[in-house]
Amino acid sequence: MSNQEDPDNTPTQCLIQVTSGAGGRISPNGDVRVSYGTDQTFTITPDRGYRVANVLIDGKSVGAVTQHTLKDVRTKHTIQVVFTNDVGLPFTDVSRSDWFHEAVEYVYQAGIINGTSDNRFSPDANLTRGMIVQIFYNMEGHSAISGANSGNSFTDVARNAWYADAVSWVRMHNLVNGYDWDTFGPDDSVTREQLTAILYRYAQYPVPRVYVTAYTSELGKFRDRNQVSSWAQNAMSWAVYHGILQGNPDITLNPVGKATRSQVAKIMQNYHAAF
């Protein structure tokens, strides 16, 4: 029977038959029985490299959603999920119409920046210090850390943290230091000028790939050039000169503004195009 009934023929439960193709999963799945007249929510999660192509409820499309709720269930239903890998991104929060789509696709496929989960990139989230050191560690292919250089002395970096090896590696090569001997601040946001300064420093590792040259005249065209900190002026000018940092449509650099993950993806794509 599709529905279970009580003695007076009123259904007590309704059957929802849930299926999905290769490329992801839906939860709950299989033959799902819900109480008559109640709601049931289904969550859809694509595998890495896949996205939701379509969701069919009783044979009718409800679009490429990652969650759907059947409300006031009083009869049998079917749910079918179709996944596709026709694009290089599994992220539900990055679409082809986004200005950063190409950059995100580049850094993801290159293994430089991963998602914040299996199906989310979080393009508007602020970059953190833990994230930025992991990016450079990824770019170096997770270089080995051994002996006295393994681990770190920071009390706010657990040894099993996903960024722990990266923190040890950047400290070992003096690319990113802690605030002091005990504190690294892995969850602290990174500003655009801080990011650029770290990238400029990285460009000198292990041997200079760029020459430390003053490019300060490059800042002259930006309306907020006076907001660039003195210690970041050469790095910011260098980044503008090489097209790594292109500024905003309102002719500003926003040097002390927080760097978002989508902005960082574009900056890293520009960096690799320049060098």
Specify the pLDDT at position 183. 94
Chain centre distance of CA 74? 40
What tokens appear for 188 in the block?
A: 């602290």
Quote the CA–CA distance of 198 and 175 in Å, as a whole number.
7
* pLDDT tops 50 at residue 147: no
2 or 172, higher pLDDT: 172
Span 201-238, pLDDT tens digits: 998 887 665 554 556 678 999 999 999 999 999 899 99
Specify the pLDDT at position 208. 61
Verdict on whether the full-model pTM lies above 0.75: no
Specify the pLDDT at position 111. 87
Span 14-71, pLDDT tens digits: 999 999 988 889 999 999 999 999 999 999 998 876 778 889 999 888 888 899 999 9
Interval 2-11 mean pLDDT: 59
Interval 148-161 mean pLDDT: 77
**CA-based end-to-end distance of the chain:** 66
Percentage of the chain modeled with pLDDT above 90 = 57
Quote the CA–CA distance of 200 and 208 in Å, as a whole number.
10
Q: Domain ranges in the chain?
A: 3-84, 101-274
Is the Cβ–Cβ distance between 251 and 222 less than 8 Å? Answer: yes
* pLDDT bucket at 146, cuts 50 / 70 / 90: low
Task: State the sign of the Cα–Cα–Cα–Cα dihedral 239, 273, 127, 185.
Answer: negative
